[in-house]
């Protein structure tokens, strides 16, 4: 059996409700997973929750619940959220599950036996909020620590450390030799800059159980629990291990946000090297969303609630906006006005109008029966399909949508140019009207297939309205002329109802 295309998202801290940023990352991964399936590959798509550590323990205490009960309640909400986004994921990991915990402990034992860890006493500064040790280098010019670290306390304690330094040059060489390992390029350069200008300090992989007990106990010293990042990153292989019959590792793509790049591009590769495992093929780094030019924040109320947007506008409108508005890489800015404007211009008046008028005219002028084949728009459709295929393989989702919309726009222009409503009035133009109608409905069919990874619900609706029994998730069917003459289409209905704004 050939290796599956294995794609993951970051696993979210279960210390609150999902927001726009979490939704965005999952949708990116979902589109890539669906695209690969459409292109004929076998795919495994993993997402899930990061449930241990200080943040979760504190959130549970604040609600006067045990951490496990707190996680169980919230995990249900997050699983529902994955359903709400219609993610095509194959598994959903929770790091409190035995299958994960046991694997983390086995891994820790192996690394310990191999002499990768050592114990030492640390005296210095610690940020509880970021669960990280700080050094003099982390001080701002005025001597304080960055407010993002929250309260910084001084402590003195024993811990276990993982030897990172020995692998620094190896990692630099690897990243230089593999340009696609970290994408986009400017994120890759950031990591290279960091590695070349700093000496890697060893990574503290434990926390004393006396201070933090919500974690996986170190198998070789029960007075400590595992540092949450060491636990969390291992999910990417603990779950493949639980599906031993499938060949999954190495991952093809880890989709993550820019804030957790160091963990994925520095710590994780070195952990894998120490485990004698191959590295993931690619770390795909997206930017951060703001709303109305300001940080998304629960405390200031500057939030976008994905569930509310989906309930009001539909899932595909939400998926479309985040993917079309923001390329994978830079930061983005959500505005309600921008959302409405794309909804009305590109979805309702663009795609929706094209499909609705094409099918309605076929219904009105030809009783919904597909006329003889014609290929006036075949070259435009082939161009969009070729471009989309190539762009999907490079995870260029925004550019793929632009290419698909060039076909939407071309076909809408074709309606204006050929004016089928005029042709219908002229008995001498029967054949010409047949040609125009075929080109329009066939373009709608091809569009449905190209759109499938992005807007799966809309894609299925177009196929249903076309009266096609098969599913729209096979890219190989996006070739011109598959719609047969004599085929009876179904009932047209608006895909994106216009809203009075
Ligand atoms: N638990 C860690 C990840 C462990 S992966 C082994 C974590 N969780 S998180 O919940 O804080 O973030 C999860 C993902 O959501 C990260 O990739 C992060 O970049 C992303 N986002 C969180 N807020 C975001 C925005 N405002 N915009 C876009 N993505 C954002 O980090």
- Residue-wise pLDDT for 303-360, tens only, equals 999 999 999 999 999 999 999 999 999 999 999 999 999 999 999 999 999 999 999 9
* Helix, strand, or coil (residue 413): helix
> Residue 297's pLDDT is what?
86
Is 314 touching ligand 1 by the criterion CB < 6 Å?
Answer: no
Claim to verify: residue 114 and residue 254 sit in the same structural domain:
yes
How many whole angstroms from 258 Cα to the centroid of ligand 1?
A: 9
**CATH for 23:** 3.40.50.620
Q: Which two tokens stand for residue 71?
A: 């996680």
How many whole angstroms from 226 Cα to the centroid of ligand 1?
A: 20
Q: For residue 34, how many other CB atoms are within 10 A of its CB?
A: 22
Q: Give the residue, by CA position, lying nearest to ligand 1 atom 7.
A: 12
Q: Is the pTM of this model over 0.85?
A: yes
Average pLDDT of the segment spanning 11-16: 93
Q: For residue 167, how many other CB atoms are within 10 A of its CB?
A: 17
> Residue 110's pLDDT is what?
97
Pocket test for ligand 1, best of 7, 20, 25, 298 (most atoms within 8 A of CB): 25
How many whole angstroms from 487 Cα to the centroid of ligand 1?
A: 48
DSSP string, 319-336: HHHHHHH--SSS-EEE-H
- Please identify, among 269, 286, 303, the residue that sits at the C-terminal boundary of a domain: 286
Is 256 touching ligand 1 by the criterion CB < 6 Å?
Answer: yes
> Residue 501's pLDDT is what?
55
Claim to verify: residue 120 and residue 247 sit in the same structural domain:
yes
How many whole angstroms from 342 Cα to the centroid of ligand 1?
A: 26
CB burial class (10 A; 0-12, 13-18, 19+) of residue 214?
Answer: buried
Claim to verify: residue 256 and residue 351 sit in the same structural domain:
no
Claim to verify: residue 17 and residue 102 sit in the same structural domain:
yes
Atom of ligand 1 nearest to the CA of 295: 26
Alpha helices for 335-455 (secondary structure H):
336-342, 353-366, 378-393, 397-418, 420-423, 430-451
What is the Cα 286 distance to its own chain's centre? 9
Mean residue pLDDT of the chain comes to 96
Average pLDDT of the segment spanning 223-252: 96
DSSP H or E segment with residue 157: strand 152-162
Report whether pLDDT(1) > 60.
no
Helix, strand, coil percentages in the chain from 3-state DSSP, rounded to 5: 50, 15, 35
Instruction: Name the residue with higher pLDDT: 36 or 212.
Output: 36
Kindly indicate the confidence band of residue 129, based on its pLDDT and cuts at 50, 70 and 90.
Answer: confident
> Residue 111's pLDDT is what?
97
Q: Give the residue, by CA position, lying nearest to ligand 1 atom 15.
A: 22
How many whole angstroms from 171 Cα to the centroid of ligand 1?
A: 24
297 in any annotated domain: no
Atom of ligand 1 nearest to the CA of 232: 6
Claim to verify: residue 271 and residue 399 sit in the same structural domain:
no
DSSP H or E segment with residue 34: helix 20-38
Report whether pLDDT(148) > 90.
no
Q: Are the CB atoms for 289 and 21 separated by under 8 Å?
A: yes
Claim to verify: residue 276 and residue 340 sit in the same structural domain:
no
169 in any annotated domain: yes
How many whole angstroms from 30 Cα to the centroid of ligand 1?
A: 16
> Residue 9's pLDDT is what?
98
Q: Give the residue, by CA position, lying nearest to ligand 1 atom 12.
A: 12
Query: Distance (Å, rounded) from C-alpha 7 to C-alpha 350?
Result: 32
Q: Which two tokens stand for residue 144?
A: 């304080």
> Residue 246's pLDDT is what?
87
> Residue 45's pLDDT is what?
98
179 in any annotated domain: yes
Lowest-confidence pick of 78-92, 142-156, 405-419: 142-156
According to DSSP, the β-strands at 43-50 and 5-9 are: parallel
Pocket test for ligand 1, best of 7, 15, 22 (most atoms within 8 A of CB): 22
Claim to verify: residue 387 and residue 472 sit in the same structural domain:
yes
Claim to verify: residue 161 and residue 38 sit in the same structural domain:
yes
Domain tally for the chain?
A: 2
> Residue 137's pLDDT is what?
83
490 in any annotated domain: no
Kindly indicate the confidence band of residue 299, based on its pLDDT and cuts at 50, 70 and 90.
Answer: confident
Is 236 touching ligand 1 by the criterion CB < 6 Å?
Answer: no
Lowest-confidence pick of 127-131, 176-180, 461-465: 127-131
326 in any annotated domain: no
How many whole angstroms from 111 Cα to the centroid of ligand 1?
A: 28
Claim to verify: residue 20 and residue 109 sit in the same structural domain:
yes
> Residue 307's pLDDT is what?
97
Q: Give the residue, by CA position, lying nearest to ligand 1 atom 23.
A: 21
Residue position matching structure tokens 């304690």: 157
Is 267 touching ligand 1 by the criterion CB < 6 Å?
Answer: no
315 in any annotated domain: no
Residue position matching structure tokens 């943040």: 55
Residue position matching structure tokens 């899932």: 315
Residue-range definition of the domain harbouring residue 181: 5-286
> Residue 500's pLDDT is what?
65
Claim to verify: residue 239 and residue 368 sit in the same structural domain:
no
224 in any annotated domain: yes
- The string of pLDDT tens digits covering residues 90-107 is 999 999 999 999 999 999
Kindly indicate the confidence band of residue 145, based on its pLDDT and cuts at 50, 70 and 90.
Answer: very high
Claim to verify: residue 64 and residue 137 sit in the same structural domain:
yes
Query: Distance (Å, rounded) from C-alpha 164 to C-alpha 194?
Result: 14
306 in any annotated domain: no
Lowest-confidence pick of 182-196, 293-307, 418-432, 472-486: 293-307
Is 49 touching ligand 1 by the criterion CB < 6 Å?
Answer: no
Report whether pLDDT(450) > 90.
yes
**CATH for 353:** 1.10.730.10
How many whole angstroms from 288 Cα to the centroid of ligand 1?
A: 9
Claim to verify: residue 243 and residue 369 sit in the same structural domain:
no
Is 285 touching ligand 1 by the criterion CB < 6 Å?
Answer: no
């Amino acid at each position: 059996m050939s290796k599956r295309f294995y794609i993951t998202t970051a696993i979210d801290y279960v210390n609150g409700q999902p927001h726009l940023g979490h939704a965005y990352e999952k949708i990116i991964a979902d589109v890539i997973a669906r695209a690969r399936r459409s292109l004929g590959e076998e795919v495994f798509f993993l997402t899930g929750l990061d449930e241990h550590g200080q943040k979760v323990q504190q959130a549970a205490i604040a609600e006067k619940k045990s951490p496990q009960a707190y996680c169980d309640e919230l995990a249900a909400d997050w699983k529902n959220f994955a359903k709400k986004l219609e993610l095509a994921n194959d598994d959903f990991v929770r790091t409190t599950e035995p299958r994960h915990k046991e694997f983390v402990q086995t891994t820790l034992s192996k690394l310990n036996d191999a002499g990768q860890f050592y114990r030492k006493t640390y005296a210095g500064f610690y940020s509880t909020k970021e669960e990280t040790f700080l050094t003099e280098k982390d001080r701002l010019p005025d001597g304080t620590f960055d407010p993002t670290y929250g309260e910084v306390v001084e402590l003195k304690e024993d811990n276990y450390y993982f030897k990172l330094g020995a692998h620094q040059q190896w990692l630099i060489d690897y990243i230089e030799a593999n340009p696609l390992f970290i994408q986009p390029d400017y994120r890759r350069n950031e990591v290279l800059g960091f590695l070349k200008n700093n000496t890697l300090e060893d990574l503290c992989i434990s926390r004393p159980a006396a201070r933090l007990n919500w974690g996986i106990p170190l198998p070789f010293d029960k007075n400590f629990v595992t540092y949450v990042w060491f636990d969390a990153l291992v999910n990417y292989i603990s779950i493949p291990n639980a599906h031993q019959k499938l060949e999954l590792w190495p991952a093809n793509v880890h989709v993550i946000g820019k804030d957790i790049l160091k963990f994925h591009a520095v710590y994780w590769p070195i952990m894998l090297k120490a485990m004698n495992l191959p590295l993931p093929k690619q770390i795909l780094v997206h930017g951060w969303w703001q709303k109305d030019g300001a940080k998304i924040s629960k405390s200031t109320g500057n939030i976008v609630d994905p569930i509310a947007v989906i309930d009001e506008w539909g899932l595909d409108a939400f998926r479309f906006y985040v993917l079309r508005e923001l390329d994978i890489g830079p930061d983005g800015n959500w505005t309600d006005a921008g959302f409405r404007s794309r909804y009305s211009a590109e979805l309702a008046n663009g795609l929706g109008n094209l499909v609705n008028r094409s099918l309605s005219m076929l219904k009105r002028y030809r009783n919904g029966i597909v006329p003889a084949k014609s290929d006036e728009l075949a070259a435009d459709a082939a161009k969009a399909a070729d471009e989309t295929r190539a762009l999907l393989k490079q995870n260029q989702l925004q550019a793929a949508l632009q290419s698909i919309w060039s076909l939407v726009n071309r076909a809408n222009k074709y309606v204006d140019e050929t004016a089928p409503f005029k042709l219908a009035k002229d008995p001498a133009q029967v054949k010409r009207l047949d040609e125009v109608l075929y080109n329009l409905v066939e373009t709608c069919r091809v569009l449905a297939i190209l759109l499938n990874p992005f807007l799966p619900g809309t894609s299925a609706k177009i196929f249903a309205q076309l009266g096609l029994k098969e599913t729209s998730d096979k890219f190989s069917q996006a070739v011109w002329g598959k719609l047969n003459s004599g085929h009876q289409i179904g009932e047209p209905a608006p895909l994106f109802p216009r809203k009075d704004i």
